[in-house]
Structure 1
Amino acid sequence: MYKILSWIAVVLWMALIFYLSHQPATISNELSSGITEMIVNALEKLASSFQFDIGDLHHIVRKNAHFFAYLTLGILVLNSLRRSGIYGMQSAGIAFLICVLYAITDEVHQLFITGRSGEVTDVLIDSAGAGMGIIVYLIISRLIGWYRNRRTVD
């Protein structure tokens, strides 16, 4: 049951990435601009003496969205592979390969969307995010295993 649910989560997350990538540039820009404005407003309240360049921040928000979307995808794919009985470094390698291939196809897909482009740098950012998600998953699962083993010994 958990195996099926974990793969459903992967497919739904990939569908969300596809949906966001399928938006024309104007709509995508409006969404990230709205998020950037919320961040700027929050930062101005916290640090009113600083001036923030909304253009630079907008670019950072867009690139971080790539990173964190694929960080999440990396976690979800690795979890699904492990629930499917694939463990060790093999599961991490397969998860990373799936995420990188999806990032490539996502950027190719954007070539056919009005005002969008496929960027190699975005694939690199996506891959870094997926890799970080996989590393985070491995660290947390190792800590949980260590904690469980420690509790059974005590």
Structure 2
Amino acid sequence: MAYTLNKVLADHSHKWLIALRIVLIIVLVWWMSVIFRFSAQNGTQSTQASDQVVEVFSDVIAKVTGNDHIKIKLTVTYRSQFEYGIRKLAHMFIYFILAITAMLLLFTFERVPMLVRMLLSVFGCFLYACTDEFHQSFSYGRGPSLRDVFIDTFGASMGIIVALILFCIIYTIYHSYQAYKIKRYNASISEA
């Protein structure tokens, strides 16, 4: 009996999809809790975390370039601007990861059109960014920012694009491999 690609995919997909969905839901909830914990930090804790990142980054730049003047100049002149940039990049990054995780989960639902998956992901990240900023307003020394919601949503949009690229690569490799296996199997049947 010769196999077709659709039959092979239908036979094996349901077992792996359930396991994959469970893992992705766990990762998604865990990452949302990471974001929640960052928002629960008070102003002092958040600033200290940013300061540590700036220190590490300036140390890396100084070691790579072999120039300690960069570290001194950064500390004296540009530290607050650099720290602000790091904080906004951190906002983008955490929502970039959130969107990739959400898209990976949505990829497991084959019947949902790709545009709907993308819109669900970006809208879900936008809503979580709104609730995250609201939650942050209860942390001493911090407040909500509409700008941060837009930065978070932009990071999520970039994550969706990366997830789509990854999906296309994985989809192509997987289907090519399955087609190769089917061709080999069907050839072995016709020889027998």
Q: TM-score w.r.t. structure 2 length?
A: 0.74
- Residues 1:94 and 1:65: Cα distance change in structure 2 (over 3 Å): same
Find the partner of 2:86 among 53, 57, 61.
61
- Residues 1:4 and 1:148: Cα distance change in structure 2 (over 3 Å): closer
Residue matched to 1:4: 22
Find the partner of 1:125 among 148, 151, 155.
151
Letter in 1 for 2:136: Q
1:3–1:84 CA contact under 8 A, matched in 2: no
Distance apart, 1:45 and its partner CA: 2.0
Find the partner of 1:90 among 112, 116, 126.
116
Pairing 1:34–2:52 present: yes
Residue matched to 2:164: 138
Distance apart, 1:84 and its partner CA: 4.0
Letter in 1 for 2:100: I
Structure 2: state its 5+ residue gaps: 1-18, 184-192
Over the aligned positions, Cα root-mean-square deviation in angstroms equals 1.8
Deviations 1:13-66 (A, max 9, x none): 000000110011101111111111111111122231543222221111111110
Letter in 2 for 1:17: I
Which 10-residue stretch deviates more, 127-136 or 56-65? 56-65
Structure 1: state its 5+ residue gaps: none
CA distance in 2, matches of 1:30, 1:149: 48
Identity of aligned residues (%): 32
Residue matched to 2:104: 79
CA distance in 1, matches of 2:142, 2:173: 47
Size of the aligned set, in residue pairs, is 154
Deviations 1:77-106 (A, max 9, x none): 111122244341111110111000000110
2:171 aligns to what SS in structure 1?
helix
